[in-house]
Amino acid sequence: MFTYDLAIIGAGWAGFNAALKGRDLGFKTCLIDSGPIGGTCLNRGCIPTKSLISCAKVFSLAKKASDFGVRLDNPGMDFSVIQQRKSRIIARLAQGMRGRLSGIDFFNSPATLHAPHEIRIAKDLIKSRFILLATGSRPFSLPGFEFDGKKIISSDDILESAEAPSSLLIIGGGVIGCEFAGLFSALGSKVTLAEKMPLLLPAEDRDISRKIEAVFGKRGIKVITGADLSGIKREEYDKILVCAGRVPNLEGLSLPEAGLKLENGRLSSDENLNVGLEGVYAAGDCVSRIMLAHYAAYQGVRAVENMFSGKAKNTDAPAVPACIFTDPQIGSVGMKEKEALDAGLKIKVYKSDFRANAMSHILDETEGFVKIIARDDGRIIGASIVGPQASELIAVLTAAVSFESTVSKLRSVIFAHPTLSESLHEALGSD
């Protein structure tokens, strides 16, 4: 039997950062996972997809190199090398994560919640003052399109493909579906993207959704919105990739036996992230409806602070940025225009097009715009960007929303020239 102050089930971004926090606070900590360290983000999500997307971006740039005066004869693409590069990146980052676990015990084993304060791993029992459940999520299997790993595949499956499919149907026009649509279209696949809602990316600002659909159309991606899946002719596609969302990983934890109940397949928690059992907390995709790695890390740290302080700290971050690595990229934070109007707020919308930005022309990436939402008193409450490096630019507006900055304050900031960040200043203009 092992005894700890803090035992964490799940070594993804929530569990990993929680473990570091527990150790740094001086508590004896262990981390448990049946799979490799890093969870979904490192092994089947953020890192591998962005690695592939970066390769596709280089390939796209190579094909238009002559526009920059660079002669490249007939650029080609070797998908096996792309996959090897992805694996090397994952391995390097995993090694770095393992190195940071100094002073934390890592058990590479399945785990069950035996009782409050008790976890069963293999033939051993772990007793812990506090337990954090950070088990992450997995791709949702759509009824009628169950994964077979061959024809009908998940986002996990496609990341291990030996080659880019010649023709690809993607079911689901959310974040994951749109990222894969852009990626494989750039690599030469004939892509069809089917979304049941009237717009792609239904959680984003409507102007963003319309823009990305228009860009996809220019790139040869066939977009079907309001899609009726019953009419799909499966034989027309080499692969069918189902991106219909994700569900929490909670099977096998013996939650009912331990006294934990689920709501709609998900753990529920109080403001401390306690899940209804003494000493048991949760963080990340298994408890949150915001399934983002950076938010999972935030929750993991907050949960540990709440455990040992006994005082709740705000676990609803004031501003959580969301990034979509399509080409062009998308970044958003805070309220969308429709949300603000539906809430009855008096707002002013500020907008600028990247065609007005010098660096966009230098990079030959002029598609997109910046959109900033402010209340009538000038406070910035939200922003959306579609365009070059939107995932980086949104950080400035995340800070603005977090600290309740006003339009006049942000307008007074000097942005370097020529840079993409000037587009934020250009959006605000002058009243």
Residue 115 three-state SS:
strand
Convert the pLDDT of each residue in 79-93 to its tens digit: 999 999 999 999 999
DSSP H/E element including 89: helix 79-99
End-to-end CA distance of the chain: 68
CB 134 within 8 Å of CB 32: no
* 417 catalytic residue (yes or no): yes
Convert the pLDDT of each residue in 38-64 to its tens digit: 999 999 999 999 999 999 999 999 999
In the prediction, which pLDDT does 360 show? 98
> What sign results for the dihedral spanned by CA atoms 334, 339, 343, 346?
positive
- Looking at the chain, the number of H-run helices and the number of E-run strands are 14, 19
Given pLDDT bands bounded at 50, 70 and 90, which one contains residue 314? low
**Of these residues, 294, 361, 417, 425, which one is catalytic?**
417
CB 312 within 8 Å of CB 350: no
CB 428 within 8 Å of CB 421: no
List Cβ neighbours of 246 (8 Å cut-off, separation of 6 or more).
Answer: 137, 138, 139, 140, 285, 291
Can you tell me the distance from the alpha carbon of 179 to that of 137, in angstroms, rounded to the nearest whole number?
A: 18
Convert the pLDDT of each residue in 298-307 to its tens digit: 999 999 999 9
Is the pLDDT confidence value at 431 over 70?
no
Can you tell me the distance from the alpha carbon of 367 to that of 387, in angstroms, rounded to the nearest whole number?
A: 6
Q: For 123-130, what is the mean pLDDT?
A: 94
Is the pLDDT confidence value at 180 over 70?
yes
> What sign results for the dihedral spanned by CA atoms 312, 313, 317, 318?
positive
In the prediction, which pLDDT does 235 show? 95
Residue 183 three-state SS:
helix
Bridge partner list, 102: none
Full set of structural domains in the chain with CATH: 2-138+247-309 (3.50.50.60), 152-244 (3.50.50.60), 322-428 (3.30.390.30)
Tokens of 170: 């993607």
CB 169 within 8 Å of CB 232: yes
